[in-house]
DNA sequence: CGTCGCTTTGAGACTCGTCAATTAGCGTGG
DNA sequence: CCACGCTAATTGACGAGTCTCAAAGCGACG
Protein backbone atom coordinates (compact mmCIF):
# COMPACT_ATOMS: atom_id res chain seq x y z
CA UNK A 1 0.00 0.00 0.00
CA UNK A 2 2.89 2.23 0.74
CA UNK A 3 5.33 1.29 -1.91
CA UNK A 4 5.21 0.73 -5.60
CA UNK A 5 2.85 -1.79 -7.05
CA UNK A 6 2.11 -3.32 -10.39
CA UNK A 7 3.97 -5.75 -12.56
CA UNK A 8 6.46 -4.95 -15.24
CA UNK A 9 5.08 -4.10 -18.63
CA UNK A 10 6.42 -5.44 -21.89
CA UNK A 11 9.97 -4.19 -22.44
CA UNK A 12 9.89 -0.51 -23.33
CA UNK A 13 12.00 1.04 -26.03
CA UNK A 14 13.25 4.59 -25.89
CA UNK A 15 13.87 4.43 -29.60
CA UNK A 16 10.18 4.08 -30.23
CA UNK A 17 8.88 6.30 -27.45
CA UNK A 18 6.73 9.23 -28.40
CA UNK A 19 8.11 11.15 -25.43
CA UNK A 20 11.70 10.91 -26.58
CA UNK A 21 11.72 14.58 -27.49
CA UNK A 22 11.37 15.53 -23.82
CA UNK A 23 13.30 12.80 -22.10
CA UNK A 24 16.76 11.29 -22.14
CA UNK A 25 16.88 10.43 -25.85
CA UNK A 26 16.97 14.04 -27.02
CA UNK A 27 19.76 14.51 -29.49
CA UNK A 28 20.85 10.91 -29.59
CA UNK A 29 21.29 9.36 -33.03
CA UNK A 30 19.02 6.45 -33.79
CA UNK A 31 21.77 3.86 -33.88
CA UNK A 32 22.91 4.77 -30.38
CA UNK A 33 19.39 4.68 -29.07
CA UNK A 34 19.31 0.93 -29.11
CA UNK A 35 21.92 0.96 -26.38
CA UNK A 36 19.63 3.07 -24.28
CA UNK A 37 16.86 0.60 -25.01
CA UNK A 38 18.89 -2.12 -23.40
CA UNK A 39 19.47 -0.01 -20.36
CA UNK A 40 15.85 0.87 -19.77
CA UNK A 41 14.57 -2.65 -19.40
CA UNK A 42 11.76 -2.12 -17.00
CA UNK A 43 8.73 -0.05 -16.27
CA UNK A 44 6.80 0.38 -13.08
CA UNK A 45 3.11 0.94 -12.80
CA UNK A 46 1.84 2.98 -9.93
CA UNK A 47 -1.61 3.46 -8.59
CA UNK A 48 -2.64 6.85 -7.33
CA UNK A 49 -0.95 7.39 -4.01
CA UNK A 50 1.75 4.79 -4.50
CA UNK A 51 5.27 5.84 -3.64
CA UNK A 52 7.92 5.39 -6.29
CA UNK A 53 10.70 5.93 -3.79
CA UNK A 54 11.00 7.18 -0.26
CA UNK A 55 13.34 9.67 1.28
CA UNK A 56 16.49 7.78 2.18
CA UNK A 57 16.04 4.91 -0.24
CA UNK A 58 19.25 3.91 -1.95
CA UNK A 59 19.52 5.20 -5.49
CA UNK A 60 19.15 2.36 -7.91
CA UNK A 61 17.60 4.20 -10.78
CA UNK A 62 16.20 7.46 -11.95
CA UNK A 63 12.81 7.49 -13.57
CA UNK A 64 11.12 8.90 -16.62
CA UNK A 65 7.39 9.47 -16.53
CA UNK A 66 5.70 7.49 -19.25
CA UNK A 67 2.18 8.49 -18.40
CA UNK A 68 0.45 10.00 -15.43
CA UNK A 69 2.14 12.35 -13.00
CA UNK A 70 3.97 12.38 -9.69
CA UNK A 71 4.86 14.83 -7.01
CA UNK A 72 8.08 14.80 -5.07
CA UNK A 73 8.42 16.35 -1.66
CA UNK A 74 10.60 16.69 1.39
CA UNK A 75 9.59 16.96 5.01
CA UNK A 76 10.68 19.36 7.67
CA UNK A 77 11.27 18.12 11.20
CA UNK A 78 7.96 19.41 12.40
CA UNK A 79 6.12 17.30 9.89
CA UNK A 80 5.28 19.87 7.31
CA UNK A 81 5.71 18.84 3.73
CA UNK A 82 7.23 20.88 0.94
CA UNK A 83 6.38 19.77 -2.56
CA UNK A 84 9.49 20.35 -4.64
CA UNK A 85 8.48 18.88 -7.94
CA UNK A 86 5.53 18.07 -10.16
CA UNK A 87 6.55 15.62 -12.83
CA UNK A 88 4.52 14.93 -15.92
CA UNK A 89 5.01 12.88 -19.06
CA UNK A 90 8.53 12.78 -20.38
CA UNK A 91 10.06 14.35 -17.29
CA UNK A 92 12.77 12.75 -15.22
CA UNK A 93 12.73 12.37 -11.48
CA UNK A 94 15.16 11.18 -8.86
CA UNK A 95 18.01 13.46 -9.86
CA UNK A 96 18.49 14.75 -6.34
CA UNK A 97 19.58 11.26 -5.31
CA UNK A 98 22.80 11.25 -7.31
CA UNK A 99 24.79 13.27 -4.79
CA UNK A 100 24.99 10.63 -2.13
CA UNK A 101 23.22 7.77 -3.80
CA UNK A 102 20.17 8.07 -1.59
CA UNK A 103 16.93 9.67 -2.49
CA UNK A 104 16.63 13.11 -0.96
CA UNK A 105 12.89 13.32 -1.49
CA UNK A 106 9.85 11.10 -1.67
CA UNK A 107 7.97 10.60 -4.91
CA UNK A 108 4.30 9.68 -5.02
CA UNK A 109 1.96 9.12 -7.93
CA UNK A 110 -0.77 11.74 -8.25
CA UNK A 111 -2.80 9.44 -10.47
CA UNK A 112 -2.35 6.01 -11.98
CA UNK A 113 0.97 6.31 -13.71
CA UNK A 114 3.81 4.48 -15.32
CA UNK A 115 7.49 5.26 -15.16
CA UNK A 116 10.50 3.93 -17.01
CA UNK A 117 13.31 2.66 -14.82
CA UNK A 118 16.74 3.96 -15.79
CA UNK A 119 19.35 2.14 -13.77
CA UNK A 120 21.68 4.89 -12.84
CA UNK A 121 25.04 3.17 -12.64
CA UNK A 122 24.58 1.94 -16.16
CA UNK A 123 23.31 5.25 -17.38
CA UNK A 124 26.45 6.87 -16.12
CA UNK A 125 28.58 4.28 -17.85
CA UNK A 126 26.73 4.63 -21.12
CA UNK A 127 26.77 8.40 -20.99
CA UNK A 128 30.57 8.28 -20.86
CA UNK A 129 30.47 6.42 -24.15
CA UNK A 130 27.73 8.33 -25.93
CA UNK A 131 28.48 12.05 -25.95
CA UNK A 132 25.00 13.06 -26.95
CA UNK A 133 23.56 11.12 -24.02
CA UNK A 134 26.02 12.75 -21.68
CA UNK A 135 25.04 16.11 -23.07
CA UNK A 136 21.36 15.46 -22.50
CA UNK A 137 21.85 14.14 -18.99
CA UNK A 138 23.76 17.27 -18.12
CA UNK A 139 21.12 19.40 -19.75
CA UNK A 140 18.39 17.80 -17.70
CA UNK A 141 20.32 18.15 -14.47
CA UNK A 142 20.96 21.80 -15.22
CA UNK A 143 17.36 22.35 -16.21
CA UNK A 144 16.23 21.07 -12.87
CA UNK A 145 18.46 23.61 -11.15
CA UNK A 146 17.05 26.35 -13.29
CA UNK A 147 13.49 25.38 -12.56
CA UNK A 148 14.22 25.30 -8.87
CA UNK A 149 15.62 28.81 -9.16
CA UNK A 150 12.40 29.91 -10.80
CA UNK A 151 10.47 28.44 -7.91
CA UNK A 152 12.71 30.32 -5.51
CA UNK A 153 11.88 33.49 -7.37
CA UNK A 154 8.19 32.72 -6.98
CA UNK A 155 8.35 31.92 -3.31
CA UNK A 156 10.78 34.68 -2.55
CA UNK A 157 9.34 37.66 -4.36
CA UNK A 158 5.78 37.06 -5.50
CA UNK A 159 2.40 37.44 -3.83
CA UNK A 160 0.05 34.52 -3.68
CA UNK A 161 -1.95 35.38 -6.77
CA UNK A 162 1.10 35.85 -8.91
CA UNK A 163 2.60 32.58 -7.75
CA UNK A 164 -0.53 30.70 -8.69
CA UNK A 165 -0.71 32.39 -12.06
CA UNK A 166 2.91 31.55 -12.81
CA UNK A 167 2.34 27.98 -11.73
CA UNK A 168 -0.73 27.54 -13.92
CA UNK A 169 0.94 29.06 -16.95
CA UNK A 170 3.99 26.89 -16.52
CA UNK A 171 1.88 23.79 -16.25
CA UNK A 172 -0.22 24.88 -19.18
CA UNK A 173 2.85 25.28 -21.32
CA UNK A 174 4.30 21.93 -20.40
CA UNK A 175 1.01 20.23 -21.15
CA UNK A 176 0.52 21.96 -24.45
CA UNK A 177 4.04 21.03 -25.57
CA UNK A 178 2.90 17.46 -25.09
CA UNK A 179 -0.12 17.91 -27.24
CA UNK A 180 -2.70 18.56 -24.56
CA UNK A 181 -4.99 21.53 -24.50
CA UNK A 182 -3.24 24.56 -23.11
CA UNK A 183 -6.30 26.08 -21.55
CA UNK A 184 -8.25 23.15 -20.24
CA UNK A 185 -6.72 20.56 -18.04
CA UNK A 186 -7.05 18.66 -14.82
CA UNK A 187 -5.05 19.60 -11.78
CA UNK A 188 -3.72 16.41 -10.33
CA UNK A 189 -2.81 17.96 -7.03
CA UNK A 190 -5.18 18.87 -4.22
CA UNK A 191 -5.47 22.42 -2.99
CA UNK A 192 -3.21 21.43 -0.15
CA UNK A 193 -0.53 20.04 -2.45
CA UNK A 194 -0.64 23.09 -4.68
CA UNK A 195 -0.38 25.21 -1.58
CA UNK A 196 2.61 23.28 -0.39
CA UNK A 197 4.27 23.66 -3.75
CA UNK A 198 3.68 27.41 -3.76
CA UNK A 199 4.32 28.12 -0.12
CA UNK A 200 0.68 28.83 0.67
CA UNK A 201 -2.11 27.24 2.66
CA UNK A 202 -4.87 25.27 1.07
CA UNK A 203 -7.38 27.92 2.09
CA UNK A 204 -5.46 30.62 0.28
CA UNK A 205 -5.28 28.50 -2.85
CA UNK A 206 -8.98 27.84 -2.67
CA UNK A 207 -9.78 31.51 -2.20
CA UNK A 208 -7.56 32.44 -5.12
CA UNK A 209 -9.33 30.01 -7.42
CA UNK A 210 -12.66 31.41 -6.31
CA UNK A 211 -11.52 34.93 -6.90
CA UNK A 212 -10.04 34.21 -10.31
CA UNK A 213 -13.24 32.46 -11.28
CA UNK A 214 -15.25 35.40 -10.01
CA UNK A 215 -13.23 37.79 -12.12
CA UNK A 216 -13.58 35.64 -15.21
CA UNK A 217 -9.97 34.60 -15.63
CA UNK A 218 -10.70 30.93 -15.29
CA UNK A 219 -13.35 28.49 -14.30
CA UNK A 220 -12.70 25.60 -12.04
CA UNK A 221 -14.87 22.75 -10.89
CA UNK A 222 -13.11 20.47 -8.49
CA UNK A 223 -9.81 19.91 -10.25
CA UNK A 224 -11.05 20.54 -13.77
CA UNK A 225 -9.63 23.84 -14.83
CA UNK A 226 -10.44 26.00 -17.81
CA UNK A 227 -8.49 29.16 -18.51
CA UNK A 228 -11.03 31.49 -20.02
CA UNK A 229 -8.82 34.56 -20.26
CA UNK A 230 -5.21 33.51 -20.84
CA UNK A 231 -4.05 37.07 -21.36
CA UNK A 232 -5.40 38.11 -18.01
CA UNK A 233 -3.63 35.17 -16.43
CA UNK A 234 -0.36 36.10 -18.12
CA UNK A 235 -0.87 39.62 -16.90
CA UNK A 236 -1.25 38.42 -13.34
CA UNK A 237 1.87 36.32 -13.73
CA UNK A 238 3.89 39.39 -14.51
CA UNK A 239 3.24 40.71 -17.94
CA UNK A 240 5.91 39.94 -20.45
CA UNK A 241 6.37 36.32 -19.51
CA UNK A 242 9.61 36.53 -21.38
CA UNK A 243 13.07 36.00 -20.04
CA UNK A 244 14.07 39.06 -18.06
CA UNK A 245 16.46 41.54 -19.58
CA UNK A 246 20.12 41.49 -18.81
CA UNK A 247 20.64 42.81 -15.35
CA UNK A 248 23.06 45.40 -14.17
CA UNK A 249 25.11 44.16 -11.26
CA UNK A 250 25.85 46.20 -8.16
CA UNK B 1 33.32 48.33 -13.71
CA UNK B 2 30.53 46.04 -14.64
CA UNK B 3 32.37 43.00 -15.81
CA UNK B 4 35.23 40.97 -14.56
CA UNK B 5 38.56 42.58 -13.99
CA UNK B 6 42.04 41.54 -13.03
CA UNK B 7 44.74 39.72 -14.87
CA UNK B 8 45.32 36.02 -14.93
CA UNK B 9 47.29 34.57 -12.05
CA UNK B 10 50.09 32.05 -12.41
CA UNK B 11 48.68 28.78 -13.76
CA UNK B 12 46.68 27.05 -11.03
CA UNK B 13 46.82 23.37 -10.35
CA UNK B 14 43.93 21.38 -9.00
CA UNK B 15 46.33 18.68 -7.97
CA UNK B 16 47.94 21.03 -5.49
CA UNK B 17 44.83 22.93 -4.41
CA UNK B 18 43.90 22.87 -0.75
CA UNK B 19 40.25 23.10 -1.72
CA UNK B 20 40.28 19.93 -3.76
CA UNK B 21 38.30 18.12 -1.10
CA UNK B 22 35.28 20.33 -1.82
CA UNK B 23 35.58 20.94 -5.51
CA UNK B 24 35.81 18.98 -8.72
CA UNK B 25 38.86 16.89 -7.78
CA UNK B 26 37.05 14.89 -5.10
CA UNK B 27 37.65 11.21 -5.62
CA UNK B 28 40.01 11.58 -8.54
CA UNK B 29 43.27 9.65 -8.34
CA UNK B 30 46.40 11.75 -8.34
CA UNK B 31 47.59 10.62 -11.73
CA UNK B 32 44.36 11.68 -13.39
CA UNK B 33 44.42 15.03 -11.66
CA UNK B 34 47.13 16.30 -13.92
CA UNK B 35 44.66 16.14 -16.78
CA UNK B 36 42.34 18.37 -14.84
CA UNK B 37 45.25 20.72 -14.25
CA UNK B 38 45.62 21.16 -17.97
CA UNK B 39 41.97 21.95 -18.32
CA UNK B 40 41.87 24.60 -15.63
CA UNK B 41 44.45 26.87 -17.11
CA UNK B 42 43.18 30.19 -15.93
CA UNK B 43 41.99 32.11 -12.93
CA UNK B 44 40.05 35.31 -12.71
CA UNK B 45 40.38 37.90 -10.03
CA UNK B 46 37.36 39.90 -9.14
CA UNK B 47 36.99 43.03 -7.11
CA UNK B 48 34.01 43.41 -4.85
CA UNK B 49 31.01 44.11 -7.03
CA UNK B 50 32.50 42.77 -10.23
CA UNK B 51 30.32 40.45 -12.26
CA UNK B 52 31.73 37.09 -13.20
CA UNK B 53 29.00 36.50 -15.73
CA UNK B 54 25.70 38.06 -16.63
CA UNK B 55 22.34 36.53 -17.27
CA UNK B 56 22.27 35.48 -20.91
CA UNK B 57 26.03 35.26 -21.39
CA UNK B 58 27.09 32.24 -23.42
CA UNK B 59 28.44 29.42 -21.31
CA UNK B 60 32.15 29.12 -21.81
CA UNK B 61 33.13 27.82 -18.45
CA UNK B 62 31.94 26.99 -15.01
CA UNK B 63 33.82 28.38 -12.06
CA UNK B 64 35.27 27.22 -8.78
CA UNK B 65 35.73 29.71 -6.01
CA UNK B 66 39.35 29.85 -4.99
CA UNK B 67 38.96 32.55 -2.39
CA UNK B 68 36.35 35.12 -1.57
CA UNK B 69 32.67 34.65 -2.23
CA UNK B 70 30.01 35.41 -4.81
CA UNK B 71 26.26 35.65 -4.99
CA UNK B 72 24.21 34.59 -7.93
CA UNK B 73 20.78 35.95 -8.63
CA UNK B 74 18.00 36.20 -11.14
CA UNK B 75 15.66 39.08 -11.81
CA UNK B 76 11.93 39.18 -12.16
CA UNK B 77 10.34 41.38 -14.79
CA UNK B 78 9.47 44.06 -12.29
CA UNK B 79 13.08 44.49 -11.35
CA UNK B 80 13.16 42.60 -8.09
CA UNK B 81 16.13 40.40 -7.53
CA UNK B 82 16.17 36.91 -6.11
CA UNK B 83 19.47 35.70 -4.77
CA UNK B 84 19.66 32.00 -5.61
CA UNK B 85 23.13 31.15 -4.46
CA UNK B 86 25.90 32.13 -2.10
CA UNK B 87 29.15 30.56 -3.19
CA UNK B 88 32.18 30.31 -0.98
CA UNK B 89 35.60 28.69 -1.26
CA UNK B 90 35.66 25.41 -3.10
CA UNK B 91 32.12 25.73 -4.43
CA UNK B 92 31.21 25.62 -8.08
CA UNK B 93 29.01 28.11 -9.86
CA UNK B 94 27.51 28.41 -13.28
CA UNK B 95 25.85 25.01 -13.33
CA UNK B 96 22.49 26.45 -14.32
CA UNK B 97 24.02 27.46 -17.65
CA UNK B 98 24.53 23.95 -18.95
CA UNK B 99 20.95 23.45 -20.05
CA UNK B 100 21.00 25.84 -22.97
CA UNK B 101 24.59 27.00 -22.87
CA UNK B 102 23.66 30.42 -21.58
CA UNK B 103 23.94 31.62 -18.06
CA UNK B 104 20.57 31.66 -16.36
CA UNK B 105 21.68 33.90 -13.55
CA UNK B 106 24.14 36.69 -12.83
CA UNK B 107 27.12 36.16 -10.54
CA UNK B 108 28.75 39.00 -8.66
CA UNK B 109 31.67 39.03 -6.24
CA UNK B 110 30.69 39.89 -2.67
CA UNK B 111 34.29 40.70 -1.83
CA UNK B 112 37.61 40.59 -3.64
CA UNK B 113 37.71 37.06 -4.94
CA UNK B 114 39.37 34.67 -7.27
CA UNK B 115 37.79 31.89 -9.28
CA UNK B 116 39.21 29.05 -11.33
CA UNK B 117 37.95 28.86 -14.88
CA UNK B 118 36.82 25.40 -15.92
CA UNK B 119 36.13 25.40 -19.62
CA UNK B 120 32.97 23.41 -19.83
CA UNK B 121 33.22 21.73 -23.21
CA UNK B 122 36.55 20.29 -22.21
CA UNK B 123 35.31 19.33 -18.79
CA UNK B 124 32.55 17.34 -20.40
CA UNK B 125 35.02 15.64 -22.68
CA UNK B 126 37.38 14.79 -19.88
CA UNK B 127 34.62 13.57 -17.61
CA UNK B 128 33.68 11.02 -20.25
CA UNK B 129 37.19 9.65 -19.96
CA UNK B 130 37.70 9.86 -16.23
CA UNK B 131 34.88 8.06 -14.40
CA UNK B 132 35.70 9.57 -11.04
CA UNK B 133 35.50 13.05 -12.53
CA UNK B 134 32.18 12.22 -14.12
CA UNK B 135 30.98 10.93 -10.80
CA UNK B 136 31.96 14.10 -9.00
CA UNK B 137 30.46 16.39 -11.61
CA UNK B 138 27.18 14.53 -11.29
CA UNK B 139 27.41 14.69 -7.53
CA UNK B 140 27.87 18.42 -7.59
CA UNK B 141 25.00 18.95 -10.00
CA UNK B 142 22.76 16.81 -7.84
CA UNK B 143 23.91 18.55 -4.70
CA UNK B 144 22.90 21.86 -6.15
CA UNK B 145 19.41 20.51 -6.77
CA UNK B 146 19.24 19.27 -3.24
CA UNK B 147 20.33 22.57 -1.79
CA UNK B 148 17.77 24.37 -3.87
CA UNK B 149 15.13 22.05 -2.48
CA UNK B 150 16.22 22.93 1.02
CA UNK B 151 15.85 26.57 0.16
CA UNK B 152 12.37 25.88 -1.16
CA UNK B 153 11.56 24.26 2.16
CA UNK B 154 12.77 27.35 3.94
CA UNK B 155 10.88 29.82 1.80
CA UNK B 156 7.81 27.64 1.60
CA UNK B 157 7.25 26.55 5.17
CA UNK B 158 9.33 28.56 7.63
CA UNK B 159 8.80 31.84 9.39
CA UNK B 160 11.37 34.58 9.05
CA UNK B 161 13.29 33.77 12.21
CA UNK B 162 13.61 30.11 11.38
CA UNK B 163 14.78 30.87 7.86
CA UNK B 164 17.50 33.12 9.15
CA UNK B 165 18.60 30.57 11.75
CA UNK B 166 18.78 27.83 9.14
CA UNK B 167 20.74 30.10 6.84
CA UNK B 168 23.25 31.05 9.51
CA UNK B 169 23.77 27.48 10.61
CA UNK B 170 24.25 26.31 7.07
CA UNK B 171 26.81 29.01 6.42
CA UNK B 172 28.50 28.30 9.72
CA UNK B 173 28.85 24.66 8.82
CA UNK B 174 30.26 25.33 5.40
CA UNK B 175 32.78 27.75 6.83
CA UNK B 176 33.87 25.47 9.63
CA UNK B 177 34.38 22.60 7.17
CA UNK B 178 36.87 24.88 5.49
CA UNK B 179 38.73 25.54 8.68
CA UNK B 180 37.15 28.81 9.67
CA UNK B 181 35.57 29.47 13.02
CA UNK B 182 32.06 28.09 13.16
CA UNK B 183 30.73 30.73 15.49
CA UNK B 184 32.42 33.88 14.40
CA UNK B 185 32.42 35.04 10.85
CA UNK B 186 31.71 37.92 8.54
CA UNK B 187 28.53 38.08 6.54
CA UNK B 188 29.50 39.10 3.06
CA UNK B 189 26.00 39.98 2.04
CA UNK B 190 24.10 43.12 2.99
CA UNK B 191 20.83 42.90 4.89
CA UNK B 192 19.11 43.43 1.59
CA UNK B 193 20.92 40.56 -0.09
CA UNK B 194 20.27 38.23 2.81
CA UNK B 195 16.65 39.27 2.68
CA UNK B 196 16.49 38.54 -1.02
CA UNK B 197 18.02 35.15 -0.46
CA UNK B 198 15.53 34.31 2.26
CA UNK B 199 12.46 35.89 0.76
CA UNK B 200 12.34 38.73 3.28
CA UNK B 201 12.86 42.47 3.29
CA UNK B 202 16.01 44.07 4.55
CA UNK B 203 14.10 45.60 7.45
CA UNK B 204 12.87 42.23 8.62
CA UNK B 205 16.38 40.83 8.49
CA UNK B 206 17.70 43.77 10.46
CA UNK B 207 14.99 43.42 13.08
CA UNK B 208 15.69 39.73 13.40
CA UNK B 209 19.36 40.34 14.03
CA UNK B 210 18.48 42.93 16.65
CA UNK B 211 16.07 40.58 18.34
CA UNK B 212 18.46 37.65 18.33
CA UNK B 213 21.15 39.88 19.76
CA UNK B 214 18.72 41.12 22.38
CA UNK B 215 17.92 37.57 23.42
CA UNK B 216 21.58 36.61 23.60
CA UNK B 217 21.69 34.14 20.75
CA UNK B 218 24.25 36.11 18.80
CA UNK B 219 25.98 39.41 18.64
CA UNK B 220 26.37 41.33 15.46
CA UNK B 221 28.19 44.51 14.65
CA UNK B 222 27.75 45.54 11.06
CA UNK B 223 28.49 42.30 9.27
CA UNK B 224 30.69 40.78 11.95
CA UNK B 225 28.69 37.99 13.50
CA UNK B 226 29.34 36.01 16.62
CA UNK B 227 27.08 33.14 17.57
CA UNK B 228 27.06 33.21 21.34
CA UNK B 229 24.49 30.48 21.88
CA UNK B 230 24.71 27.93 19.08
CA UNK B 231 22.26 25.58 20.75
CA UNK B 232 19.64 28.28 20.89
CA UNK B 233 20.24 28.98 17.23
CA UNK B 234 19.87 25.33 16.38
CA UNK B 235 16.70 25.27 18.38
CA UNK B 236 15.32 28.17 16.39
CA UNK B 237 16.28 26.43 13.19
CA UNK B 238 14.11 23.49 14.09
CA UNK B 239 15.63 21.34 16.73
CA UNK B 240 17.16 18.17 15.48
CA UNK B 241 18.97 19.71 12.54
CA UNK B 242 19.26 16.18 11.28
CA UNK B 243 17.85 14.75 8.12
CA UNK B 244 14.13 14.26 8.57
CA UNK B 245 12.80 10.79 9.19
CA UNK B 246 11.43 8.65 6.47
CA UNK B 247 8.05 9.97 5.53
CA UNK B 248 4.83 8.11 5.05
CA UNK B 249 3.24 8.91 1.75
CA UNK B 250 -0.47 9.59 1.35
C1' DC C 1 35.28 66.12 8.41
C1' DG C 2 31.56 65.66 5.34
C1' DT C 3 29.20 62.58 2.34
C1' DC C 4 27.05 58.48 1.08
C1' DG C 5 25.45 53.97 1.71
C1' DC C 6 24.03 50.68 4.94
C1' DT C 7 21.55 49.74 9.01
C1' DT C 8 18.34 50.46 12.65
C1' DT C 9 13.95 51.50 14.48
C1' DG C 10 9.11 52.91 14.51
C1' DA C 11 4.19 53.18 13.05
C1' DG C 12 0.65 51.59 10.30
C1' DA C 13 -1.30 48.75 6.55
C1' DC C 14 -2.13 44.57 4.34
C1' DT C 15 -1.54 39.89 3.02
C1' DC C 16 -2.04 35.60 4.33
C1' DG C 17 -2.33 32.04 8.01
C1' DT C 18 -5.23 30.08 11.55
C1' DC C 19 -9.35 28.31 13.35
C1' DA C 20 -13.89 27.00 12.57
C1' DA C 21 -18.11 25.87 10.34
C1' DT C 22 -20.36 24.48 6.17
C1' DT C 23 -20.86 22.47 1.69
C1' DA C 24 -19.85 19.50 -2.13
C1' DG C 25 -18.38 15.32 -4.21
C1' DC C 26 -17.53 10.49 -4.25
C1' DG C 27 -17.16 5.77 -3.13
C1' DT C 28 -19.23 2.14 -0.27
C1' DG C 29 -22.47 -0.76 1.38
C1' DG C 30 -27.01 -1.62 2.87
C1' DC D 1 -30.58 3.36 -5.72
C1' DC D 2 -30.21 5.92 -1.88
C1' DA D 3 -28.12 6.81 2.61
C1' DC D 4 -24.00 7.21 4.82
C1' DG D 5 -19.46 8.65 5.82
C1' DC D 6 -15.28 10.36 4.44
C1' DT D 7 -12.32 13.53 2.24
C1' DA D 8 -11.74 17.70 -0.37
C1' DA D 9 -13.05 22.23 -1.02
C1' DT D 10 -15.29 26.57 0.22
C1' DT D 11 -16.13 30.52 2.95
C1' DG D 12 -15.90 33.63 6.94
C1' DA D 13 -13.86 36.05 10.92
C1' DC D 14 -9.93 37.25 13.14
C1' DG D 15 -5.14 38.02 14.19
C1' DA D 16 -0.18 37.42 13.53
C1' DG D 17 3.67 38.22 10.79
C1' DT D 18 5.76 40.91 7.36
C1' DC D 19 5.92 44.60 4.25
C1' DT D 20 5.87 49.50 3.35
C1' DC D 21 7.01 54.01 4.22
C1' DA D 22 9.60 57.16 6.85
C1' DA D 23 13.15 59.03 9.74
C1' DA D 24 17.27 58.84 12.08
C1' DG D 25 21.79 56.72 13.33
C1' DC D 26 26.11 54.81 12.25
C1' DG D 27 30.46 53.76 9.66
C1' DA D 28 33.51 53.74 6.06
C1' DC D 29 35.99 56.28 2.96
C1' DG D 30 37.68 59.85 0.41
Mind listing the pLDDT tens digit for each residue in A101-154? 999 999 999 999 999 999 999 999 999 999 999 999 999 999 999 999 999 999
Average pLDDT over residues A192-198: 98
Q: Note which residues in 6-45 of chain A have CB less than 8 A from chain B.
A: none
Closest CA to B200 of B155, B153, B232, B139: B155
Residue-level pLDDT at B8: 53
User: How far, in whole angstroms, is CA B184 from its chain's centroid?
Assistant: 18
**Nearest CA to CA, how far is B139 from chain A (Å)?**
4
**Closest Cβ–Cβ partner in A74, A144, A157 for B153:** A74
**Closest Cβ–Cβ partner in B138, B139, B148 for A145:** B148
Split at pLDDT 50, 70, 90, the class of A10 is low
> SS3 letters for chain B?
CCCCCCCCCCCCCHHHCCCCCCCCCCCCCHHHHHHHHHHCCEEEEECCCCEEECCCCECCEEEEEEECCEEEEEECCCCCEEEEEEECCCCEECHHHCCCCECCCEEEECCCEEEEEEEHHHHHHHHHHCHHHHHHHHHHHHHHHHHHHHHHHHHHHCCHHHHHHHHHHHHHHHHHHCCCCCCEEECCCCHHHHHHHHCCCHHHHHHHHHHHHHCCCEEEECCEEEECCHHHHHHHHHCCCCCCCCCCCC
- Residues touching nucleic chain D (CB < 7 Å): A 190-192, 202-203, 205-207, 209-210, 220, 222-223; B 159-161, 195, 199-201, 203-204, 222
| A121 at B interface, C-beta within 8 A | no
**Closest Cβ–Cβ partner in B82, B144, B246 for A152:** B82
| B121 at A interface, C-beta within 8 A | no
Average pLDDT over residues A11-39: 91
CA of B222: nearest nucleotide by C1' is C7
pLDDT in tens, B84-127: 999 999 999 999 999 999 999 999 999 999 999 999 999 999 99
Domains detected in chain B? 14-153 (2.60.120.10), 158-238 (1.10.10.10)
Is there a contact between B87 and B65 (Cβ–Cβ < 8 Å)? yes
Residue-level pLDDT at A243: 41
Amino acid sequence: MTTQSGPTSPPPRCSACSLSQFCLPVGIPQNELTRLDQLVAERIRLKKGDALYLYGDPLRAIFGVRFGSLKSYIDSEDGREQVVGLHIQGELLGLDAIADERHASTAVALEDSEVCVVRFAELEKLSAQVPSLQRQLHRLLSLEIRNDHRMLLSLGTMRAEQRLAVFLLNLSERLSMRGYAANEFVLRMSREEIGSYLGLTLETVSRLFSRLQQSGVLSIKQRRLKVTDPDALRHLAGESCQAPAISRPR
